[in-house]
Amino acid sequence: TSQTLPEKNCASITPPYAQLLEKLQSVRDILGNKPLTLAEKILYSHIANPAESLSDGKLVRGETYLQLNPERVAMQDASAQLQFMSAGMSRCAVPASIHCDHLIQAVNGADPDLQRSIVTNKEVFDFLESASRKYGIEFWQPGSGIIHQIVLENYAAPGMLMLGTDSHTPNAGGLGMLAIGVGGADAVDALTGTPWELKAPQIVGIHLTGELNGWATPKDLILHLAGKLTVRGGTGRILEYFGPGVFNQSCTGLATVANMGAEVGATTSTFPYTPSMRAYLTATGRAPVSRAADEAASRGFLAADEGAEYDQLIEINLSELEPNINGPFTPDLATPLSKFGSFVNEQGWKDELSAGLIGSCTNSSYQDMTSVADLARQAKAAGLKTKVPFLCTPGSEQIRATMERDKVTDILEDVGAVVLANACGPCIGQWKREDRKDEENAILTSFNRNFKSRNDGNRLTMNFLASPTIVTAMAFSGKLSFNPMTDSIPLPSGEEFKFSPPRGEDLPSQGFTAGRAFFYPSPTPEPQSDTQVIIKPDSQRLELLAPFLSPFGDYNPRGLELPSLKVLMRVRGKCTTDHISAAKQGILPLWFVDNADYSRIGSGDMIETVGVEDLLKGKANATVTIHVTKRNGETFTIPTRHTMSKDQLKWLHAGSALNHIRSRIN
Ligand code: F3S
């Protein structure tokens, strides 16, 4: 049965603004009241102990380590729970949620796909559900939606600091907060109430003027910016948008922009509090949060100070922006739509689209879905259907149910769309694609990532990123060179059909509907400590964690130097979190002083450290060198740099961050 959206009890999801403002003032007092950016205000209002952290009265972006207290943690599937369990606590120190969204394979439609995936992944879902019950975590079961859409609809709030165990956690920045994607061990810091460490990021100011018009959407803003900044341009930096161009965009549009900040490597992205954020909070049952945010904003919290300084300033006039198509294989290869046809031609690619995919956490808002429905209505009236498979993943049960009620689903299905489960599906490669196997082909998606094989496992699939409306228009044409702003599609009658620019609705005029009630967790659940966390004894996917041994234990004849270690692999090219997910758990990251040394080490070589002992003993200016023994017996030494803070060295000494946290707690 469907239920309408009631106003929620917002006690656990409203940031403690009075406390945050007080903390911020204490930091201002230490730093001498200079103007601050919005990102700085949010970060500094979450410093665990300003007097201790900033005892020398200095805070330098890019240098100072901040010890922060995040207010919430969101976890996608099995990501931090085993680590948390190994800390030995009976409940989480902050509110947390678990979201089952990455394991649902798209085969032939929402219901059968969901049922099949629940069976094949039962042991993972049983584990997550039982762990949620034991530790008092909100459990969003498979089919309830994609983590970032659910966070935006339920938990995000202006001025909040949140961690999530997924790269696109920054999506929640659309509500004017800082949401940061981290690994499981970092999430455990927040879950155990241990201050979480972050090197104060640099801040890139992005000044938006003008207004998006015609076919240009918020997706095109971030696609354009990705082309400017490249996949490295945001590393160690927060993207902070400001200016009049922020205030005429929808909250969900801003979330799309924040979502894809991950593609330029940014720590996160944020925006000042806007009327559209207020409207979105109210429409999603959180008017009390918006009232509290109004009050905090009136006290100067939710926007940058006049005169705040940025490390880099970028100007973008939204009125001049045209749709962009980025790819293939990298999100920063941006081509304006008007030049895309000739780009395809120059590359010698076949002028043929093989599939269009819309939705995902990046682009499945009500505004996105009603915009594509508008195009579908126009095409249907001309007697057209999509020429290629056209798949749609709604971001949440709330979006799916509201689409269904407002006949958006009907019109999409009328023109040939297959609506998939409320889950990641093809965005994370959960797509049982039967056509084009091992064949070069081109797909267009409204998703955020496009490295090789990401969607269908086929390295020859060229995957281009675009707004959902461009994907939809192209799906009707079937050609990569089609520009819906200027081109028309021939009809069997001999007439020509041309799209009018799409019109979507920011928020549903009848309000959102929550959809099927069983998809929703009970809010603020209490831990049930007698619950047995279910891990199958013969599981190939889950295992209780035994603590890592400290590498400096009795068994290591080298004492406080790392034992002789074999190089497992050398990676090259553009790495995403999918490639480096193994780099996890109390490792010692070292940088090459001379980049050329990178090529001198290969898999199978043996390395030993020299200088870690000095580091661990706190010797001033300690350096670490690496002694390398090649497989052919050749030996040499290379200098390195490290960026570990005093606290991170404690993890190294303990054998892992988890070992350190456990010893602190118990
Ligand atoms: Fe899922 Fe793709 Fe977003 S994998 S969380 S829909 S980036």
Q: Which atom of ligand 1 is nearest to the CA of 427?
A: 2
Task: Tell me how far the alpha carbon of residue 427 lies from the centroid of ligand 1, in angstroms.
Answer: 6
Q: What is the pLDDT of residues 208-242, one digit of tens each?
A: 999 999 999 999 999 999 999 999 999 999 999 99
**One domain for residues 490 and 594:** no
The pick from 391, 427, 456 for probing ligand 1's pocket by mutation, whose C-beta has the most ligand atoms within 8 angstroms, reads 427
- Domain end marker among 503, 520, 542: 503
Is 372 part of a structural domain of the chain? yes
Task: Tell me how far the alpha carbon of residue 445 lies from the centroid of ligand 1, in angstroms.
Answer: 12
pLDDT of residue 3: 46
d(CA 284, CA 154): 7
Task: Tell me how far the alpha carbon of residue 521 lies from the centroid of ligand 1, in angstroms.
Answer: 21
d(CA 128, CA 140): 10
**One domain for residues 592 and 486:** no
**One domain for residues 595 and 449:** no
Q: Is 148 in the pocket of ligand 1 (CB under 6 A)?
A: yes
Judge whether residue 193 has pLDDT over 90: yes
Q: What pTM, to 2 d.p., does this model score?
A: 0.94
Q: What is the pLDDT of residues 250-291, one digit of tens each?
A: 999 999 999 999 999 999 999 999 999 999 999 999 999 999
Q: What is the dihedral of CA 337, 340, 341, 343, to 10 degrees?
A: 160
Q: Is 454 in the pocket of ligand 1 (CB under 6 A)?
A: no
Q: pLDDT exceeding 90 applies to what percent of the chain?
A: 85
pLDDT of residue 659: 85
Is 531 part of a structural domain of the chain? no
In terms of residue numbers, what domain contains 138? 69-194
Is 519 part of a structural domain of the chain? no
pLDDT of residue 139: 97
Give the least confident one: 2-6, 100-104, 470-474, 533-537: 2-6
**One domain for residues 623 and 493:** no
Q: Which atom of ligand 1 is nearest to the CA of 428?
A: 4
pLDDT of residue 581: 55
What CATH code is carried by the domain that includes residue 435?
3.30.499.10
pLDDT of residue 662: 83
E strand or H helix at 324, and its extent?
strand 324-326
**One domain for residues 475 and 337:** yes
Is 154 part of a structural domain of the chain? yes
d(CA 165, CA 181): 6
Nearest residue (by CA) to ligand 1, atom 2, is 427
Q: Is 146 in the pocket of ligand 1 (CB under 6 A)?
A: yes
Q: Is 424 in the pocket of ligand 1 (CB under 6 A)?
A: yes
**One domain for residues 339 and 479:** yes
In the block, which residue shows the tokens 């920011």?
Answer: 506
Is 156 part of a structural domain of the chain? yes
Tokens of 502: 């799409």
Number of domains into which the chain is organized: 3
Q: Is 605 in the pocket of ligand 1 (CB under 6 A)?
A: no
- Domain end marker among 179, 194, 209: 194
Q: pLDDT exceeding 70 applies to what percent of the chain?
A: 98
pLDDT of residue 545: 83
Q: Is 166 in the pocket of ligand 1 (CB under 6 A)?
A: yes
Mean pLDDT of 391-403: 97
Is 275 part of a structural domain of the chain? no
Task: Tell me how far the alpha carbon of residue 605 lies from the centroid of ligand 1, in angstroms.
Answer: 37
**One domain for residues 495 and 634:** no
Task: Tell me how far the alpha carbon of residue 360 lies from the centroid of ligand 1, in angstroms.
Answer: 6
**One domain for residues 468 and 392:** yes
- Domain end marker among 164, 194, 224: 194
b/e map of 413-451 (b: 16 or more CB within 10 Å)?
A: eebbbbbbbbbbbbbbbbbebeebeeeebbbbbbbbbbb
What CATH code is carried by the domain that includes residue 628?
3.20.19.10
Mean pLDDT of 54-60: 92
**One domain for residues 490 and 583:** no
Q: What is the pLDDT of residues 319-378, one digit of tens each?
A: 999 999 999 999 999 999 999 999 999 999 999 999 999 999 999 999 999 999 999 999
Task: Tell me how far the alpha carbon of residue 141 lies from the centroid of ligand 1, in angstroms.
Answer: 16
**One domain for residues 581 and 476:** no
Beta bridge partners of 2: 516
Judge whether residue 515 has pLDDT over 60: yes
Task: Tell me how far the alpha carbon of residue 78 lies from the centroid of ligand 1, in angstroms.
Answer: 15
**One domain for residues 495 and 360:** yes
pLDDT of residue 376: 98
pLDDT of residue 338: 98
Q: What is the pLDDT of residues 562-586, one digit of tens each?
A: 989 999 888 777 776 666 654 485 6
pLDDT of residue 1: 35
Side-chain-facing half-sphere of 110: CA atoms under 13 Å: 20
**One domain for residues 475 and 589:** no
Task: Read off the DSSP letter of residue 428.
Answer: G
